[in-house]
């Protein structure tokens, strides 16, 4: 089963959108595998966003992301990475369709309330970074997929 790292950013936590984001992943049928509220250090955020180091917005991104606590989560299920990205919407909320999380809750690219891994490899890298003590994935009998589907 595929895993993805979904994180509610400081503005999403501040605005009280954590429950809404959890609800959407739950009702879609993904399994909540890990969850932590954490006030991340700049070092952790610089590592998380290391691919964007050369971007002009990098310093403001690190400031924004370290401005308050975030809620980091691991969600597990079929095609979790790609489907998670679809549920989030586009990087720029103004390009995000209504019905997506960003499309329903924000308008600024620099305040886009949530993060989702963009590939299976980055998901595994991010899960190892944010949950260094490891994440135990146990199949649950009450997951929607195991109730209604064989595989
Ligand atoms: P994501 O995977 O959709 O989150 O987008 P990226 O990985 O490309 O960028 C990471 C985060 O940096 C985005 O979610 C935004 O919060 C921020 N970001 C990306 N592009 C811009 C930009 O052009 N301006 C600003 N201010 N922030 C940006
Ligand atoms: Mg990204």
> Are residues 117 and 82 in contact, defined by beta-carbon separation less than 8 angstroms?
no
Question: In this predicted model, what pLDDT tens digit does every residue of 115-128 receive, in sequence order?
Answer: 999 999 999 999 99
Q: Which atom of ligand 1 is nearest to the CA of 118?
A: 2
Looking at the CA of 84, name the nearest ligand: 1
Q: 19 vs 13, 34, 71, 125, CA distance in Å?
A: 9, 15, 10, 25
Is the pLDDT reported for residue 129 higher than 80? yes
> Among 7, 9, 110, which residue has the most ligand 1 atoms within 8 Å of its CB, making it the best to mutate?
110
Query: Which residue's CA is the closest to the ligand 1 atom numbered 3?
Result: 91
Is the pLDDT reported for residue 147 higher than 70? no
Q: Is 61 a pocket residue for ligand 1 (Cβ < 6 Å)? A: yes
Q: Report the mean per-residue pLDDT for the chain.
A: 94
Residue 64's nearest CA partner among 139, 137, 145, 9 is: 9
Question: In this predicted model, what pLDDT tens digit does every residue of 78-96 receive, in sequence order?
Answer: 999 999 999 999 999 999 9
Give the pLDDT band (50/70/90) at residue 146: very low
Q: What's the confidence (pLDDT) of residue 150?
A: 47
Q: 100 vs 6, 92, 141, CA distance in Å?
A: 14, 12, 28
How far apart are the CA of 96 and the centre of ligand 1, in A? 13
Is the pLDDT reported for residue 137 higher than 80? no
Q: Is 118 a pocket residue for ligand 1 (Cβ < 6 Å)? A: yes
- One DSSP character per residue, 120-135 reads HHHHHHHHHHH-TT--
Q: Give the ranges where the chain is alpha helix by DSSP (H).
A: 10-14, 18-28, 42-48, 58-65, 80-88, 101-105, 120-130, 144-148
Question: In this predicted model, what pLDDT tens digit does every residue of 1-55 receive, in sequence order?
Answer: 999 999 999 999 999 999 999 999 999 999 999 999 999 999 999 999 999 999 9
Any known ligand binding at 33? no
Q: Is 115 a pocket residue for ligand 1 (Cβ < 6 Å)? A: yes
Question: Is 115 one of the annotated active-site residues of the chain?
Answer: yes
> Are residues 25 and 150 in contact, defined by beta-carbon separation less than 8 angstroms?
no
Any known ligand binding at 85? yes
Any known ligand binding at 57? yes
Residue found by looking up tokens 């595929």 in the block: 2
């Amino acid at each position: 089963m595929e895993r993805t790292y979904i994180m509610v950013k400081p503005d999403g936590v501040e605005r009280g959108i954590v429950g809404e984001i959890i609800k959407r992943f739950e009702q879609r049928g993904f399994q909540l595998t890990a969850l932590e509220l954490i006030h991340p250090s700049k070092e952790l955020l610089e590592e998380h966003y290391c691919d964007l180091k050369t971007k002009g917005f990098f310093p403001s991104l690190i400031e924004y992301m370290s401005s308050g606590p975030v809620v980091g989560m691991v969600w597990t299920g079929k095609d979790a990475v790609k489907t998670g990205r679809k549920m989030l919407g586009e990087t720029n909320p103004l390009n995000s369709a209504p019905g997506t999380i960003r499309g329903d809750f924000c308008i600024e690219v620099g305040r886009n309330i949530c993060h989702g891994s963009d590939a299976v490899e980055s998901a595994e890298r991010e899960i190892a970074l944010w949950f260094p003590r490891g994440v135990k994935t146990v199949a649950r009998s009450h997951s929607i997929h195991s109730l209604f589907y064989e595989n």
